[in-house]
Chain A
Amino acid sequence: MICKSLLFGTYSIYGISNKNKEIERNRGRMGAIIENPSICFNMTAEENLKEQYKIVGIPDEESLYEILKIVKLENTKNKKAKYFSLGMKQRLGIAIALVGKPDFILLDEPINGLDPEGIIEIRELILKLNKENGITFLISSHYLDELFKIATYYGFMDRGRIVKEISKKELEMNLKKRTQLKVNNIKECVKYLEETQIAYKIISDEIIDIYEKVNVTEIVSALSKRNCIVNDFQEKGETLESYYLNLIGGADND
């Protein structure tokens, strides 16, 4: 929608509504890769960027080699884009998006089909461009764990609608980090937790989750006085995936 591919709905870019013709001026401040990167397979990386310079209308191609260096494609020389790996194509797509010196780039499923090395390359590139060039990225992806490594603000969507928008800080809090204990006397453990008003959840006859930050030494010592031995102790947290499933009600289907 933001990229004018679809004809319905409303949105705004830098505060200007899509109903206002002035929005076209703001499009120069953004870049995008929707589904597959828009690259000419018969051309080299350099030629693709030159093509983009002409489309955008920038006569000076001085920054071309700098962009190739940023995306680590400076050594591709005469290699045509059709012979690039998927990761290289994605990086070339980002390079093309960088031509107009945007301060906002939209990436749609940027790591789909990439091998682990390719995923790391794209992640590092996004983080670098964000930190060094001040570019804001809007990334849509199904790879929640990967998003958790780079995103600072999240929007969860279900059936075409945003169901939740949340900052990383709030999300981390909501992911309920907890301490899981494996004990030999669950009744005594529960008694202790009740007395000390610590939030808990019994998982099984031997396992209990504590939802507060606790002093491990103190709790182990206190339980041992009650003949409750702590056999195992782990820090656990809810994953982004399970958080998302709970958000959209997917957990009910389990």
Chain B
Amino acid sequence: MIKLLRAGFFRLKKEIMFWLFIIVTILVAGIRILTTAHDEPLDKFLYDYIVYIGLFIAIFVSVFVGKEHSEGIIRNKIIVGHNRISIYISNLIISMVVSVFCEFIYIVIMFFIGSKIYEPLQMPISQLSIIILNAVLIIITYCSIFNLISMICSEITISVVMSVVIFVIMFVAEMLIGETANQPKYITSSSFDNGVRIIVSQELNPNYPGDDIVNFAKTIYLLLPQGQANLIKDSKLTDSNEIREQMYTKEEIEENIKKLYQMPIYSLIVISVINMGGLYLFSKKELK
């Protein structure tokens, strides 16, 4: 495996998509800094790249890994004696390293420039740490999905198209499922007295689909990497403390924080299932 990783990282230096991924990351960070209000806390922007990075991971992984098929590199590795499991996992590791590296480039740019122009970070370190862990796991989930597609498809064009389409499907699914998952059970009307929110009335939401459906939607939402990405940058976690106290109840905020600690389990389940499936399918694939 070490030999495959060394060879893969050597090839990476020559891969245009790798350098484009880094350039795009820097550009996205720059555009975010230039186009966002600077009176918001840094929490709001520090890791919002996680919502879009899936698309760039789809393109990078499908091209980088797809070339292994189109240029006969996988065949070459097998001829010299490497087994399929090592080849699959080495490509996954390289994809993960690159993607996490790009996410960290974004975070570092945001942190160093953002800390000078945005309001200071408000989130406690423990919460920040779990968010970063979740971001890494989301990226690993994306890499697992797109690595599977690219290792199974012999045609690079099909890999790229399928990967992008699947990202779009996840993106749309997140919006649709999120609508159901985030349906409140009660509609609350409240007022403010000296900046303190007071609940005036609470009635049952007529559009509430039922506990079972909502819980099922919440589970699916947590399994989707895009769903997790949106939870991370949810305003209940990232808005300023003042706004959060005004807009949300303590229970709502705590529920979101609780989800942060559940997300790694969901990610690990998805990552395990996808990679086991991918390894099995790749082991059965006839290579030409």
Residues of chain A whose beta carbon lies under 8 Å from any beta carbon of chain B: 3-7, 24-25, 27-28, 30-32, 34-43, 47, 50-52, 54-57, 96, 100
Inter-chain contact B79/A32, CB cutoff 8 Å: yes
Taking the complex as formed, is B75 at the interface, i.e. its CB lies under 8 A from any CB of chain A? yes
Chain A binder among B66-74, B113-121, B256-264, B273-281: B66-74
Q: 9 shortest A-B CB distances, which residue pairs? A: A38-B72, A38-B76, A27-B81, A54-B7, A57-B3, A5-B287, A55-B7, A54-B6, A3-B79
Q: How far is the CA of A152 from the CA of B173 in the complex (A)?
A: 63
Inter-chain contact A40/B79, CB cutoff 8 Å: no
Inter-chain contact B75/A27, CB cutoff 8 Å: no
Chain A residues contacting B10 (CB-CB under 8 Å) are: 50-51, 54
- A38 CB contact (under 8 Å) in B15, B71, B286, B288: B71
- A37 CB contact (under 8 Å) in B72, B81, B82, B284: B72
Q: A5-B286, A37-B72, A38-B75 are in contact. Are A55 and B82 (CB under 8 A)?
A: yes
Number of A-B contacts (CB under 8 A): 73
Q: How far is the CA of A100 from the CA of B6 in the complex (A)?
A: 16
Q: A5-B288, A55-B4, A56-B3 are in contact. Are A40 and B67 (CB under 8 A)?
A: yes
Q: A3-B79, A100-B80 are in contact. Are A42 and B15 (CB under 8 A)?
A: yes
Inter-chain contact A4/B288, CB cutoff 8 Å: no
Inter-chain contact B75/A34, CB cutoff 8 Å: yes
22 contacts between A and B (CB under 8 A): A3-B78, A6-B286, A7-B286, A27-B79, A31-B79, A32-B79, A35-B72, A36-B72, A37-B72, A40-B14, A40-B67, A40-B73, A50-B10, A51-B7, A51-B11, A52-B7, A52-B76, A54-B6, A55-B3, A55-B76, A55-B77, A56-B80
Chain A residues contacting B7 (CB-CB under 8 Å) are: 51-52, 54-55
Q: Is the interface of A mostly helix, strand, loop or mixed?
A: loop
- B78 CB contact (under 8 Å) in A4, A39, A42, A43: A4
Chain B residues contacting A39 (CB-CB under 8 Å) are: 71-72
Chain B residues contacting A35 (CB-CB under 8 Å) are: 72, 288
Chain B, range 2-36, C-beta contacts under 8 Å to A: 3-4, 6-7, 10-11, 14-16
Chain A residues contacting B16 (CB-CB under 8 Å) are: 42
Chain B residues contacting A41 (CB-CB under 8 Å) are: 71
Residues of chain B whose beta carbon lies under 8 Å from any beta carbon of chain A: 3-4, 6-7, 10-11, 14-16, 67, 71-73, 75-83, 284, 286-288
Inter-chain contact A7/B73, CB cutoff 8 Å: no
Inter-chain contact A47/B72, CB cutoff 8 Å: no
Q: A42-B16, A43-B14, A54-B6 are in contact. Are A3 and B71 (CB under 8 A)?
A: no
Q: A5-B286, A27-B79 are in contact. Are A34 and B3 (CB under 8 A)?
A: no
Chain B residues contacting A5 (CB-CB under 8 Å) are: 75, 78, 286-288
Q: How far is the CA of A55 from the CA of B8 in the complex (A)?
A: 9
Question: Shortest Cβ distance from A163 into chain B, in angstroms?
Answer: 25
Q: How far is the CA of A6 from the CA of B288 in the complex (A)?
A: 8
Question: Shortest Cβ distance from B153 into chain A, in angstroms?
Answer: 16
Q: A5-B75, A5-B288, A34-B75 are in contact. Are A42 and B80 (CB under 8 A)?
A: no
Q: Which of A3, A31, A35, A37 has the most CB of B within 10 A?
A: A3
Inter-chain contact B67/A55, CB cutoff 8 Å: no
Question: Shortest Cβ distance from A185 into chain B, in angstroms?
Answer: 61
Q: How far is the CA of A47 from the CA of B77 in the complex (A)?
A: 16
Given contacts A41-B71, A47-B14, A56-B80, 15 further A-B contacts (CB under 8 A): A3-B79, A24-B83, A27-B79, A27-B81, A32-B79, A34-B79, A38-B72, A40-B14, A40-B71, A42-B15, A42-B16, A43-B14, A52-B7, A54-B10, A55-B77
Inter-chain contact B288/A27, CB cutoff 8 Å: no
Chain A residues contacting B67 (CB-CB under 8 Å) are: 40
Q: Which of A6, A35, A39, A56 has the most CB of B within 10 A?
A: A56
Question: Shortest Cβ distance from B131 into chain A, in angstroms?
Answer: 36
Q: How far is the CA of A83 from the CA of B241 in the complex (A)?
A: 59
Chain A residues contacting B81 (CB-CB under 8 Å) are: 24-25, 27-28
